[in-house]
Amino acid sequence: MGRIAVTGSVAFDTIMEFGGRFGDFILPEKTNELNVAFLVEKLERRRGGTAANIAFSLALLGERPLLCAAVGGGDFVDYAAALEADGVDTSGVLTCDDMSTATAFITTDRDGNQITAFHPGAMARAAGVDLSAHADLSEVVVGADDAGAMALHVDQAQALGARLVFVPAQQIPAMPDTALRSGLEQAWLIGGNDYEFEMIRDRTGLSIEALGASRMVVVTRGSAGSELHSPDGVAVIPAAPVSEVVDPTGAGDAYIAGVIAGLRSGASHDVAGRIGSIAAAYVVEQHGPQRHRFDAIGFRERYAASFGADLQVRAEGWA
C-alpha cells in the first residue's frame, strides 16, 4: 500500500466563542438586510486548515501523510516544524514567499453552530501543487481548497491511479458544476456533514443514496452520530461519548482521518466509522483542531470503553 497525499487548505484559525445562540440574533425574514454583531467571550489564534487537520490526525493514527498545499513564506516555518514533529511530511507544500498563509475567522455559538469568514492568501496558488511528482500514492484526499486546484488534483489522482477521497466541504458553492461532478464521480470515498450533502443534492440532484450506490459515502450528523453508505448497505455509527464538548472545530476532519486510517488498516465499515467517531471525540474535548493527543494504547482503551468491544483491524501498529 502506498502513501496518502492530503490536499486542501492550511490556515491559521482565529476562533471566537459566542456564549449565546445565533438563532436568537438572526431574523429569518430579514436576512436580505442582515446586520448583526456578536460579543465574543474568548478569542484565540490556532493552527488549522482542512488539509493540515486531516494530516495531523492521520499522523496520530500511525500514518505518514504527505501534506500537499500552498502556504505563505514567512509564517509557516513554525507551523511546518510542529507538523513534522507530529509525523506529517511537509515536503509536498508549495511555499509562496510573497504571500501569507490562509486565515479563517470562526465564530462558534453555545450550540456548536459556526459562522466562518476565510481569507485564502497563498491558497489561491494551490493549483501550483503538483501531485504527479509523487508516484507512490495510493490515496489522495482532495479537501476544501482553491476551486481550480481541487479540480486539478481530482484529475491528477485519477492519472496516478490513486483512490480519491473527496471532501469538498465549504467549497461546494464555489466549484463549477463540471468540477464538482467530476470529484463525485471519481471518488472512492465522499465525506461531509448532512448540510453539505444537502448542498450537493441541490447542485447536482444526487442524493446520498444515489452516491452511495457505487462508492462509499460518509455522512456526519454531529451528536447524532454518522453513517457510512456503500453498495453493501448502510453502517450506522453512534457518536462516541465525550467528557465535555469544548470546541467542535476540526472534528469532521479528524473523523475523515479516522475512517481513512481504519479502512487502510483493514477495518470493516462499522469499525472504520467508529474509529472516526473516537478521533472526532478527542478533538471536541480540546480548544482547536490540532491540540488533541492519543497513543495506540489509549485509543484502543477508549474504543473498547465507548463501544463495548475490542478494536478489530488487520494491520499492525496503532491498530
Catalytic residues: 253
The amino acid that residue 177 corresponds to is: D
Give the number of other CB atoms < 10 A from CB of residue 161: 10
Q: Which contacts qualify for 175-183: CB closer than 8 Å, 24 or more apart?
A: 175/147, 175/150, 175/151, 176/147, 176/151, 177/203, 177/204, 178/151, 179/147, 179/150, 179/151, 179/154, 180/204, 182/151, 182/154, 182/155, 183/142, 183/150, 183/151, 183/154
Grid cell for residue 71: 502556504
DSSP-assigned letter for residue 270: H
- Regarding beta strands 11-17 and 42-48, do their DSSP bridges make them parallel or antiparallel, or are they unpaired? antiparallel
Q: Which residues contact 65 (CB under 8 A, 6 or more apart)?
A: 3, 4, 5, 6, 54, 55, 58, 59, 88, 89
